[in-house]
Structure formats: C-alpha cells, structure tokens
Structure 1
Amino acid sequence: MLNRLSTIVAGILLLLVFFVLVMLNNQLLGSARLDLTENQVYSLSEGSKQVLNELDEPVHLYFFFSDRASKGMTGLRNYANRVESLLEEYRSASKGKVILHKVDPEPFSEAEDEANRFGLTAASIGAAGDAIYLGLAARNAFDDEKVIGFFDPQQESFLEYEISKLIYQLSDPQPVKVTLITDLQVQGGQNPMTGRFDPAWTSINQLQQLYDVQVLGSDVSAVPVDTDVLLLIHPKNLSDELLFSVDQYALGGGKLMVFVDPHHESDPMAAMGGANSSNLDKLFSAWGVGFDAGQVVLDAATGLDIRTQSGVTRHMGFLGLGIEQLDNSDVITRGLELINGASFGYFTAPKGPGLNWQPLLHSSSSSSHMDSTTYAMTRDAKQLASGFASRNQQHVLAARLSGKASSAFLTPPEGSDALTSLSDGELNAILIADTDVLTDRFWVSQSNFFGQTIFTPFANNGDFLTNAVENLGGSNALISVRSRGTFSRPFDVVQALTVKAEQAFRDQEQLLQQELDETEQALAQLQGQRSETGALVLDAQQQQALDDFMQKKIEIRRALREVRHQLDKDIERLGSWLKFINIAVAPIVLVILLGLLARLTRRKAGGVKHG
C-alpha cells in the first residue's frame, strides 16, 4: 500500500516538475531558438541579421493572411505558418526595431480594405470563390511603403531574401546611383552606315526609369565617388587611370557589373570585317578569371533559327538560353525563361583560394568555340555548322565573382589622384561574356500604335539586367542572403491519401461525363422526335428526361464535393493525431519511462542494502 502511494506521489511530483519547467522555459527562454531542420529554414542567415542590425528606425510589418477563408486548404495554411514563423524570427532578432502585425482580412471588413489599399493580391482560390490574402505590407517611420503582394509557395527558397530586401529598402530609401561607362551608343545616335538616328537601347531606358543612371564615356579618368553600382559595357582601350579607379572601386567594396564580348555584333561598323572585342585582361588576370577575347562560343542545341535568302537556318553563334542554361537558384535568374545573345565568349573559374565562383548562364554540352576573327568574317550561318564539332562540355557565359582578390596595380599609375592603393579587398562582381544581350534586336520588338512606339519583349534580357542591378544595389548583407532551402518535405501518408481521393474524384468525373453523354443523346433523340411532330413545348417524357438529368447532375456534384471534403478531413485528422502524439503522448511516455527507471533504481538500491 505504501509503495503504491509512493508511486502516485512520485508521478504527481514529476507532472508538477514538468509543468514548472515548461513555465520557466516560456518565461526565461522564450527568445531562445534551436533550429534542427536540414537547411535551417526557420533561422535567419547572417546577412539578414546584419540588415536588421543596421536599422535606425522601426519598421512595421503587416502580415495579411485569410485564416478563416482558407479553412481546409492544408498546403496553403502550412506555408502561411512557415511565413509567419520566419516573420517572428525577424521580430525577435530585431531587438524591437521590427513590429509585426498579424491581420486576417475577412470579406467586407476594414482589414480587407486596408489590404486593398496596400495593393496586396487577392487570389480567388477558396472553395466558395472567396478572396485569399497571403501577403506582406511594410511601412517605415517616414511613411514609405513596400509590399509583397502574395507569397508564392513555388518561390519558397527566396522567401528570406524577399523579406530582407523589403526591410532593407525601407531602411535605405535613397535611390540607387548607377554609373555606366561605355563608348557604345546606348542612348541612341546617328548610324554611320545608314545616316539615320538609332533610338536608345530599351534595356538602358528601362534601367533609367528605375534608377539614377549616369552614362559616361571611357575618356573619364575615375569612377564617381557616389556610385552604388558600376556598369562597364564593352570596355576596350581603357586608360591606366580609369582601370586603376575601377580596380580600387571594386576592391573597396563597390558593386561591379561587367559586359565583355569577343565580338560586338550590334556595332554598325562590325560588318566592315574583323572582330570587335572587349579588353579587360589586366583586371581579370589579377582576379584569376580566365576570358579569351579571341574565342566565340558556338552551340548546336541553343542556336537560334534565323531567316536567310535560302530559308530558315540555325545560327550556332546566336544563342537562345532557356531554363536549362539558367541558374534558377539565384535571385537574378530565377523565374527567367529565355535570354538571347550573339557571339558569346566564355569564362573559366579562378583557381586561387578565397574567391567564390557561381555560374549564372552556361551553354549546353553540345557546344564548342572558334576564333573570333574567323567568326566575324563568316557571313553564312551554314558555314559555321559545316565545321562544327562539339566538345561535350558546358561553357560559363555569365557568373558571380565574390571574395578576397588582389589588386592589378602595385602602385598607382602616374597621373592618378590616389596616393596609395589597396593591395587586396573584397570583390562583389557579376561578369557577362556578351554585350549584344543588351541590344533591342535580341529581346524586344517594336510596333506602331496610333503614332506611338510600343516595345514588346520576347525574351528576358531586360529582366536579367534589372534583376542584377537591383541585387547589386542592395547591401553586401542582402546579396549574401540570396536563396535558402525549402521547408516542405514529402509526406508519404498524405500523398497516398491525396492519390486515393483524386482517383475517386476522377472516377466520379468519368461517371458524370458518361451520364451527361447518355442524357444528351436521349435529349437529342427526343428533340428529333419533336421536330418531326412540330411540337414547340416539351412533352411529359422529354420533361421527365430533363428532370432526371438535372437530378443526376446535382447528385454527382454533391458526391464530388464530398470526395474533396473527405480528402481534407482525412489530412486534418492525420495532422491532429500527429500533433497529439508529439505534444501529449511523447511527454507522457517520457514521464512513465522516467518513473519506471526511478522505481527500478530504488529496487536495485534496496536489494544491495538488504544484501
């Protein structure tokens, strides 16, 4: 009797200790986090933490999610919980600088009006056609606003980047200053071959609409000090003073984007013969990057079809890079489908330690390369194909370069204003081995609409440039975030339930279609009989057939709704059981095991004492 009473008391004490520890954990360790997921998807990267540490003023985040309207949407609700958990991490790590508001915009409510005022996307995916919101609005102390219209579960790997970018844009609302150095007529000018005035490149116009762009020629001696992003397009014969300034800008933490080309096809003078190549060898050599300006990539798989006098011919030097040739794990190329260009060069990765190399664009494995001068002199695309032999390897056409690099100059060149030079520094650059990708003919078409010129893109070249400048225009911390791992993992039991329900749903659909076909045939026969008799109204037989059809239609639709409802119900029931096992059963089993272990220990101790 005494032993039984002692066991009960011990069990009660263990339960009390358990609840006391839970309360102490909530009070004392509420801000502590331990993320055991494979890709640390519930934790913030160091880049995001740095963005939060640099906040000077509070930022209000308004998380809009239609909680009530999304009942039964298991996948969407799980992703909403994932987003909410990550936003909680931002709030917790910001030390009070991020204030999180959670809003359920119910239909016809003030919250829904607020979501519409912010410009969030209302997706009509509810069972009853209700608008579903899953977006984020943000406001800083100066009433600047930024929004994420809808969190797309398909873009989950970029979730942290999008949120960090939004916060960064509110913390630094100053426009990005882009300096473009080139001798090409990117702003338009007179064509020396035709005498007509060529318009500005659409890609550059698009950039000027988004950022503060200053266009300079290669005759300048230094990069402007207020430059946020430096663009070099087709650099050639740059002075030592300008090369030194670019070198120091890049090693001093500047953001650099370089377009080089073994042969700039869009130059009006290119038809005169000879390769028109870029030259930035001095900087590339110091950074360990290989670029041979004398070689052009040919690709049999991605070559574009062009129209010639003899018909349509594939041009192996004009490349259409599809999804397979784009790195969709990077924020610059994500979601892009096609990038067109001509006479691409290729890069080789640096071999030295400390540099990170990430290819963004690459050729197919059915590619090779040829001498750029020979390529420039070859007018017939069929001649390129006749001597083609694949090297069975991919060529890197564009890449990110970051990390520690050495300067190309031991001492400042004569005439430079700088007294000292950086021997090494941190690079943050994007390199592209083509300049024709920026010209209109490879990605945008023009049409005249009542006297107004309309530009219609047929490739994503402009998006690629804009994405790159937007990414480089952020802080180094933001650039380092880029893509993260995904949260969702295969759930075999749920997938089996889904497959089973979908099979039943398809069976019901086939039954409905069969019933519909049979009834329509019967109605057609009845209508044929009515035409023969000249009757204008339905007789009793026809009316009964019509009523039967409508009743069958209603019954089968009800069955279809029941199948879908049962699918969600089975998944919810499974989720409830898993929660019960994880939250309740596991601690109870642990307490029982500890109790049995304590009792066994006492018995052994008692046996030793009596012995």
Structure 2
Amino acid sequence: MLNRLSTFVAGVLLLLVFFVLVLLNNQLLGSARLDLTENQVYSLSEGSKQVLNELDEPVHLYLFFSDKASKGMTGLRNYANRVESLLEEYRSASKGKIILHKVDPEPFSEAEDEASRFGLTAASVGAAGDAIYLGLAARNAFDDEKVIGFFDPQQESFLEYEISKLIYQLSDPKQVKVTLITDLQVQGGQNPMTGRFDPAWTSISQLQQLYDLQVLGSDAASVPIDTDVLLLIHPKNLTDALQFSIDQYALNGGKLMVFVDPHHESDPMAAMGGANGSDLHKLFDAWGIGFDADQVVLDAASGLDIRSQSGVTRHMGFLGLGAEQLDSSDVITRGLELINGASFGQFSAPKGPGLSWHPLLHSSASSRLMDNMSYAMTRDAKQLADNFVSSDQQYVLAARLAGKVKSAFDSAPEGAEVSQWRAEGEINVILVGDTDLLTDRFWVSQSNFFGQTIFTPFANNGDFLTNAVENLGGSNALISIRSRGTFSRPFDVVQALTVKAEQAFRDQEQLLQRELDETEQALAQLQGQRSEGGALVLDAQQQQALDDFMQKKIEIRRALRDVRHQLDKDIERLGSWLKFINIAVAPILLVLLLGLMARLLRRKAGKVKHG
C-alpha cells in the first residue's frame, strides 16, 4: 500500500514539475529558437536581418489565413503554419519594429471585407466552395501598403525572399534609378509574326517592382543624369552621341551592365535568316574588352535537350550552365544553381594594364566556336551535334571588369550633350555574352492560379539579373535571401524506385518503337507488291511475320503495364513498412526502453535500501 502511495505521489510531483518547467520555458525562453532543419528553413538569413535592422519606423504585417474554412486541407494548413512560423521569426528579430497581426477572414465578416480591400486572392477550394485566404498585407507608418496576394506552396523556395522584399519596399529606402537602353520589346508588344500581343519579360517586370526603371530606345540622345545603374540589352545601331554619353557615364564612375549577343534568336524575325548580333565594338575596343561578335559558343556538356520533329535532341547552342560553370565566390552568382541561355558569345581577358578581370560564367571544356551566320542558318540541332569537334577549352561567357580605361572618343561628336568630358576614368562594368537568357522561355513558366498569373522559375536567370543590379546599385541585402531551402522534403527512396522503373519503362518503350519502325518499313515495301486488281497480297511467310510482330507488340505492351504495376507495388510496400515502423515499432521500442530504465532504477534503489 505504501509503495502504491509513493508511486502516486511521485507521479503527481512529476506532473507538477512538468507544468512548472513549461511555464518557465514560456516566460524565460519564449524568444529562443533552435533550427535543426538541413537548410535552416525556419531561420532568417543575414540579408533579412539586415533589412530588419535598417527599419526606422514600425511595419504592421497582417497575415490572413482562413483557419476555419480550411479544415481538412492538411497540405495547405501545414504550409500556413510554415508561413506563420517564419513571420514569427521576423517579429522576434525585428526588436519591436515588426508588428504581426493574425486574421481569420471568416465568410461575410469584416475581416473578409478587409482582405478584399487589400486585394488578397480568394481561392475557392473549400469543401463548400468558401473563399480560402492565405496572404499577407503590410503597412508602414506612412500608410504605404504592399501585399502578397496568396502564398503558393509551389513558390516555397522564394518565401523568405518575397516577405523580405515586401518589408524592404516599405522601409522607405532611397530608390535606385535604373535606365535600360534597348530596342527589344522587353515591355511587351505586338508580335510581327503572330499578330498577338506578347507580355513584358518577367526579368524586366521584376526590376520594375524593385527599382525606378526607365526604358529608352537607341534613339535616346543621352543617358539620364540621375541614373544609378545603366543597362544595355542587345545594343546596336546606337548613334555616336549616345555612345559618347555611355562612354562618359562609365568613365565618371557610373555602374554599367551590358548584355551583348552574337545572335539574338529570341527575336521573332530571327527565323527569317541571318545572324542578329549586337554591336558595341567602338566602346569595347577602347576599353580593352575582347568580345567576338561573330562566333557562337557550342557546348556538348552543357547543351539543353529540346523537342524537335525527330524527337528529343541535345541543342549545343542552347546552354544550361550549372553550378560548376558559375563563380561561387562572387555575390552575384553565389548560391545560384542554373542559368539557361542560347547562342552565347565569348569574352577574352582585357588587354589594357591595370584592369581587374573576373569571370562569372564560363562554358565547359567540351566546347567550340561556330560562325554566327552558319549557326543562324542551321535549323537542325542534330546537325550541330553531328559536326561538333571540341576545342578542349573553356570560354568566358560573363565577367566583371573594373579599372582605368581611356575614352573611345577624342572629342565630343556632333549633337552630343557635354557637361564635362573625361579622357580617361575608372569603369565598373558587368559583361554578359547573351541576351536570350533574359527572355521568359529560358527560365520561367506561367500558370493560372485562381485568376492570378503565377510565374514559376526553373532557372536562376532572373536572380542573376536582379543580383547584378542590386550589387551595382549598392544594396546586397536581398541577394543572400533568394532560393532558400524548401520546407517539404523529397522522398529519396521513392524517387530512386521511380527513376529505376521509368528507366526500364523507357528501355522497353524504345524497343517497341524500333519494332514499329521496322514493321512500317516492311509494310511500305509491301505497298508496291499489289496484284493486278490493286489489292494488297501477302504470302504465307509475310503473313506469319506480321502475326508474330502483332503478338510481340501485345507482349511488350503487357510488359510495360507490369513495370508500372510493379513500381506502384514497390512504393506501396515501402509506404506500408514506414507506416508500421512509425505507428507501431517506434512506440513499442520507446515503451520497452522506458520499462528497461524503470526496472534498472528500481533494481538500483533496492540495492541501496538493502545495503
């Protein structure tokens, strides 16, 4: 009886200790965080902390999530918890500058009216068709407002970046003035080939969200005086007056980024034939920049697979530059994984003394150069591969250049605006040997999400451009935030099973296709073997061969279904084992372990008592 009473008292005391420790934890350690995830997805990057440290006035964040209406929607609710946890990190790290409000916009409530006034996206995905909100509205002390209409789980890798960008835009920073000079339809326009209206390039739209962007054509008289960063995209047919203004802007310490191309094949008129190259050789020659505007870089190792009439073919002019072709030491390319482009041109190291040369992108060693006119006239990607012979050297595709150079002009040309002419000066230029990489088709896909257009990047082209402009404009706060780790974890074992089964499926599918091709050729020959009446006549041997093939075709199709069925069985079996381990084995082991520990403690207490 005494033992039972002492056990009961011990249990009560343990329960009291537990509640006391919980209270102490909430009071003393409420702000403490320990992120044990692989990619630190619950922690803020240094860039986000810098944005918060630069806040002068409080920013109110309003998280709208339809908690009641989303009952049973496990995936969305888990992601909402992920968003809320990250916002709590912002609040905790802001030292009182971030004020977080959590709102459940129930149907027909004032909160729902407020969400609608902010312009948040209402997704009708509930069981009863109720509007589901998962968005963020923000307001600063000057009543400026910014919103994230809906947190799309597919955009999770950009979650922290989007929140930090929103806060950064409300921190009232000095707006960077970016001037873009180009004749390409970067802001959208009518396609001369289709007659339809093409939308603005997503890479340029992103710049417009962050900066004061002004777009000028090649007919501009000069570079605007208040320009902080100057972008040149596919410069050609520039007047001497405009080139002089660019020259003087760069020599007077202006920040310049130039996208040149031996063949801009994203131009709708490029299919008409002939190379469509950039031309800035007058400035390049004076500044010691070597750019071969007549040669396109082909790369066997970095070529992208494209779909053509003959099937999937590797295009050696369409390059996918992976992490090994990107400089990981530079703030612009650090952390980026893939940049896609087409018909790159190559730069050579500057000839002038005292110039700093830093390559950012380069090809693999399995590369060669090809005349841009021949490349432009070659329509078949397979022909590029058939004639490919590697030069066994890497080519620089993008680079930084800094140092003292001489002006490209001995005097101001006629019509030029001259305030103070410099014969030489220090330049700071980023050079990129491709313009196609800025177009949507090489890095972003579009989808419709409840009436809202969602842009999903599959490469880092947009990040590369924005990182460069931020760096040249003097702000690196947002660069380190992009493309953080994802919250959802891939099931590596299941993926391995899928890859293995799909490989077997493709092998048998290719076997079937070869059989079909051979039969079609045989049937084509039989078409000429007609009787006098014009009817197709097959002898016994030919009929037997055809019957054998049809039987073989049925067997292979059955084998394909078996492969798919076996794949599903393997995944189901693996899932069943994991469920059994998580639900049954793990708790049983834990109970056995606790029982063993209790038994050892009782045995030890008994020895002490009898001793």
Give TM-score, length-normalised by structure 2: 0.55
Cα deviation for residue 470 of structure 1 reads: 9.2
User: Equivalents in 2 of 1:393, 1:149: separation in Å?
Assistant: 50
Shift of 1:438: 7.6
Q: Secondary structure at the match of 2:40?
A: coil
What root-mean-square deviation, in Å, do the aligned CA atoms of Structure 1 and Structure 2 show? 6.5
Q: Secondary structure at the match of 1:16?
A: helix
One-letter identity of the residue aligned with 2:107: P
Q: Pick from 387, 390, 404: which aligns with 1:389? A: 387
**Which residue of structure 2 lines up, in the alignment, with residue 571 of structure 1?**
none
SS at match of 1:162: helix
CA distance in 1, matches of 2:252, 2:600: 68
User: Using a 3 Å threshold, how does the CA distance of structure 1 residues 103 and 17 change in structure 2: closer, same or farther?
Assistant: same
CA distance in 1, matches of 2:275, 2:438: 22
* 1:450-489 C-alpha deviation (Å, 9 max, x unpaired): xxxxxxxxxx9xx977994598358311122101111123
Instruction: Please give the secondary structure, in 2, of the residue aligned with 1:409.
Output: strand
Quick one: structure 1 residues 215 and 42, their matched pair in 2 at CA, closer, same or farther if it must change by over 3 Å? same
Equivalence for 1:102: 102
Q: Following TM superposition, by how much is the alpha carbon of 1:122 offset from its aligned partner in structure 2, in angstroms?
A: 0.7
CA shift digits 1:57-107 (9 cap, x unpaired): 111111011100100011110011011111111111111111111111111
8 Å contact kept, 1:121–1:149:
yes
Residue 258 of structure 1 corresponds to 258
CA positional deviation for 1:260: 1.6
Aligned to 1:63: 63
> 1:34–1:442: structure 2 CA closer, same or farther, 3 Å change rule?
closer
| Paired position in structure 2 for 1:180 | 180
Distance 1:13 1:89 in 2: 35
3-state SS of 1:159 partner: helix
- What's 1:213 paired with? 214
Q: Is the 8 A contact 1:59 1:98 kept in 2?
A: yes
* Structure 1 Cα separation of the partners of residues 367 and 245 of structure 2: 38
Cα distance in 1 for residues equivalent to 2:181 and 2:468: 19
Deviation at 1:371, TM superposition (A): 3.1
Give 1:54 deviation, angstroms. Answer: 0.7
Q: Is the 8 A contact 1:368 1:389 kept in 2?
A: no
Query: Equivalents in 2 of 1:442, 1:602: separation in Å?
Result: 71
Q: What is residue 528 of structure 1 aligned with on the other side? A: none
Decide which moves more: 168-177 or 34-43.
Answer: 168-177
Distance in 2 separating the partners of 1:430 and 1:52? 29
Distance change in 2, residues 1:358/1:346 (3 Å): closer
The Cα of 1:29 is off from its aligned counterpart by 1.3
Query: 1:176-218, CA deviations, whole angstroms, 9 ceiling, x for partnerless residues?
Result: 4112357x69899xxxxxxxxxxxx976997889844164979
Task: State the AA in 2 paired with 1:472.
Answer: V
Distance 2:439 2:115 in 1: 39
C-alpha spacing 1:442/1:331, structure 2 compared with 1 (3 Å) = closer
- Is 2:291–2:345's contact at 8 Å kept on the other side of the alignment? yes
Distance in 2 of aligned mates of 1:594 and 1:19: 23
The residue aligned with 2:371 is 371
Name the CA shift for 1:112/1:349 in 2 (closer, same or farther; >3 Å).
farther
Q: Give the structure 2 partner of residue 87 of structure 1.
A: 87
Mapped partners of 2:294, 2:75: distance in 1: 53
Instruction: Tell me what 2:77 maps to.
Output: 77
Q: Contact 1:178 / 1:211 at 8 angstroms: preserved in 2?
A: yes
For residue 521 of structure 2, what is the aligned residue in structure 1? none
What is the number of residues matched between the two proteins? Answer: 458
Deviation at 1:50, TM superposition (A): 0.5
Q: 1:74 to 1:317 in 2, by over 3 A?
A: closer
Task: Please say if residues 258 and 430 of structure 1, whose CA atoms lie closer than 8 Å, have aligned partners that are also in contact.
Answer: yes
Amino acid corresponding to residue 231 of structure 2 in structure 1: L
Partner residue, 1:143? 143
Quick one: structure 1 residues 127 and 409, their matched pair in 2 at CA, closer, same or farther if it must change by over 3 Å? same
Change (3 A) 1:301 1:15: closer
Q: Take 2:115 and 2:589, find their aligned partners in 1: how far apart are those partners?
A: 41
1:114 paired residue number: 114
Give 1:472's aligned residue.
469
User: How far, CA to CA, are the matches of 1:211 and 1:137 in structure 2?
Assistant: 22
Secondary structure of the 1:167 match is: helix
Give matches, 1:328-477, under 5 Å: 343-346=343-346, 357=360, 369-372=369-372, 375=374, 385=383, 389-390=387-388, 407-409=402-404, 432-435=432-435, 468=465, 472=469, 475-477=475-477
Closer, same or farther: CA 248–159 of 1 in aligned 2, 3 Å:
farther
- The secondary structure found in structure 2 opposite 1:31 is coil
* Distance verdict in 2 for CA 1:21–1:86, change over 3 Å: same
Identity, in percent, stands at: 56
| 1:136–1:2 distance in 2 versus 1, CA, 3 Å | same
Write the deviation string for residues 20-71 of structure 1: whole angstroms up to 9, x where unpaired. Answer: 2222221111111100111111111110111111111111111011100100
CA distance in 2, matches of 1:66, 1:394: 58
Q: 8 Å contact 1:57–1:141 — kept in the other structure? A: yes
Structure 1 residue 141: Cα displacement: 1.1
SS of 2:478's partner is helix
C-alpha separation between the residues in 1 aligned to 2:603 and 2:250? 75
> What's the offset of the Cα at 1:408?
2.6
| Change beyond 3 A, Cα 1:43–1:369 | same
Once residues 357 and 31 of structure 2 are traced to their aligned partners in structure 1, the CA distance between those partners, rounded to angstroms, is: 35
Q: Distance in 1 between matches of 2:259 and 2:141?
A: 39
Matches within 5 A, 1:540-551: none
Deviations 1:538-567 (A, max 9, x none): xxxxxxxxxxxxxxxxxxxxxxxxxxxxxx
SS of the counterpart of 1:169?
helix
Aligned to 1:230: 230
Using a 3 Å threshold, how does the CA distance of structure 1 residues 602 and 216 change in structure 2: closer, same or farther?
Answer: same
The CA distance in 2 between the partners of 1:212 and 1:58, in whole Å, is 27
Return the alpha-carbon distance in structure 2 between the equivalents of residues 62 and 393 of structure 1: 58
Q: Distance in 1 between matches of 2:13 and 2:87?
A: 38
| Farther off after superposition, 19-28 or 48-57 | 19-28
**Aligned residue identity for 2:99:** I
Alignment partner of 1:26 is 2:26 = yes
Q: Partners in 2 of 1:55 and 1:586 — Cα distance?
A: 51
Q: TM-score if structure 1 supplies the norm length?
A: 0.55
Task: Tell me: CA distance 1:366–1:105, structure 2 relative to 1, closer, same or farther (3 Å).
Answer: farther
Query: Which SS does the other structure have where 2:61 is aligned?
Result: strand
Tell me: CA distance 1:214–1:158, structure 2 relative to 1, closer, same or farther (3 Å): closer
Q: Is the 8 A contact 1:278 1:293 kept in 2?
A: no
Change over 3 Å in CA distance of 1:27–1:481 after alignment to 2:
same
Task: Report the secondary structure of 2:102's partner residue.
Answer: strand
Give CA deviations for 1:479-534 in whole Å, capped at 9, x if unaligned: 22101111123589x99xxxxxxxxxxxxxxxxxxxxxxxxxxxxxxxxxxxxxxx
Instruction: Report what 2:545 is aligned to.
Output: none
What code does the residue aligned with 1:57 have?
A: E
For the Cα contact (< 8 Å) 1:14–1:591, is it kept in 2? no
State the Cα distance separating 1:588 from its structure 2 match.
Answer: 10
Letter of the 2:24 counterpart = L
Cα separation, 2, equivalents of 1:470 and 1:75: 32
Which structure 1 residue ranges, 5 or more long, are not aligned?
189-200, 307-313, 333-337, 444-459, 496-573
For 2:103, give the aligned amino acid. V
